[in-house]
């Protein structure tokens, strides 16, 4: 390694470390520390903006049963998350796609298409808990922060390759982008899925739903996604044996939380 390149590498590492020290956060229950350069307030603001857009583009369902179920389950879960600053909202959208999400700040949406996979409140709690888990673990903020670091790293590289040909600059940049995409972004999104699964188990259990229902729900979901019916939600939530195994491994911890929940509902109301 030439001294020049060595200097650039050091500069990059220092830059990344400074950013790292500047913003660190820990995920509740899993304790994983995460790079965080956004504030919860900024994320909530982005969530509000996105929610307004989502509301203008989707039709709120008037299915009484689904709306009542989401309100019942969503509010039970919201209560145990200890997030008084969240402005919770729960909406069922008329859409055949099986989809659900929770935006930063507590805006929860479930599409009518998801209800064909939920047999009872507890299974709905599994998926709503998972989505709320993504929001509370601030996975969106973490992704933005990772993007900011990549961007900054790329800028540092661009600034330090002065004097080289434009082609070389492009090459280095492309190489760096591939490196960061494969090395950082992909494993992290898998990490996020496992983490949301775990948090989903925590919140549904604390809300008084039997966490065993998460296994039945995600297994059912996994079978559907393996048949090739791949929608947006299936592609962003790839199911795997490993995910089920991880959930099963965490189940005893979740069962302990369920046992001490003040308001046990077991599987809750039937949604069939
Ligand atoms: Zn997820």
Looking at residue 25, its pLDDT comes to 85
- The DSSP 8-state label assigned to residue 148 in this structure reads H
Question: Separation of 134 CA from ligand 1 center, angstroms?
Answer: 7
Nearest one of 78, 183, 85, 72 to 129, comparing CA atoms: 78
The answer for residues whose C-beta is within 8 angstroms of residue 265's C-beta and 6 or more apart is: 76, 121, 122, 208, 209
Q: Is the pTM of this model over 0.85?
A: no
* Å from CA of 75 to ligand 1 middle: 20
Query: Looking at the predicted structure, is the pLDDT value of residue 153 above 50?
Result: yes
To the nearest 10°, the Cα dihedral for 132, 136, 142, 144? 60
- Residues flanking ion ligand 1, Cβ below 5 Å: 196, 237
pLDDT at 115: 96
Alpha helix locations (H) across 118-259? 121-136, 139-160, 166-180, 186-206, 212-226, 232-236, 241-259
Q: Which two tokens mark 112?
A: 């009518």
Q: Where are the domains of the chain?
A: 38-259
Instruction: State residue 172's pLDDT score.
Output: 38
Tell how far the Cα of 12 is from the centroid of ligand 1, in angstroms: 32
Structure tokens, 172 = 């280095």
pLDDT confidence tier of residue 137, bands split at 50, 70 and 90 = very high
Enter the tokens of residue 36.
């965080």
Q: How far is the CA of 200 from the centre of ligand 1 (A)?
A: 10
Span from the CA of 135 to the centroid of ligand 1 (angstroms) = 10
**Band of pLDDT at residue 152, cut at 50, 70 and 90:** low
Looking at 127-136, 144-153, 184-193, 198-207, which range is the least confident one?
184-193
CA-wise closest residue to 257 among 215, 198, 217: 198
């Amino acid at each position: 390694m030439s001294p020049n390149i060595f200097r650039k590498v050091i500069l990059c590492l220092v830059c990344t470390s400074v950013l790292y020290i500047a913003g660190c956060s820990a995920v509740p229950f899993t304790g994983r520390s995460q790079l965080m350069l956004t504030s919860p307030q900024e994320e909530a603001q982005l969530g509000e903006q996105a929610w307004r857009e989502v509301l203008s583009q989707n039709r709120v369902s008037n299915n009484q049963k689904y709306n009542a179920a989401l309100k019942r389950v969503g509010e039970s879960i919201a209560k145990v998350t200890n997030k008084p600053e969240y402005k919770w909202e729960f909406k069922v959208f008329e859409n055949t796609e099986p989809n659900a999400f929770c935006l930063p700040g507590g805006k929860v949406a479930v599409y009518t298409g998801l209800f064909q996979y939920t047999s009872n409140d507890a299974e709905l709690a599994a998926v709503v808990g998972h989505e709320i888990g993504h929001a509370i673990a601030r996975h969106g903020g973490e992704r933005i922060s990772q993007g900011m670091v990549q961007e900054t790293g790329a800028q540092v590289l661009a600034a330090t390759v002065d004097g080289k040909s434009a082609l070389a600059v492009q090459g280095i940049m492309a190489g760096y982008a591939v490196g960061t995409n494969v090395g950082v972004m992909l494993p992290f999104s898998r990490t996020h899925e496992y983490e949301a699964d775990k948090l989903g188990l925590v919140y549904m259990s604390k809300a008084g739903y039997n966490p065993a229902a998460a296994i039945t729900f995600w297994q059912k979901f996994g079978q559907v996604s393996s048949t090739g019916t791949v929608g947006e939600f299936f592609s962003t939530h790839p199911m795997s044996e490993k995910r089920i195994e991880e959930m099963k491994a965490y189940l005893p911890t979740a069962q302990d939380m369920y046992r001490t929940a003040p308001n046990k509902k077991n599987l809750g109301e039937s949604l069939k």
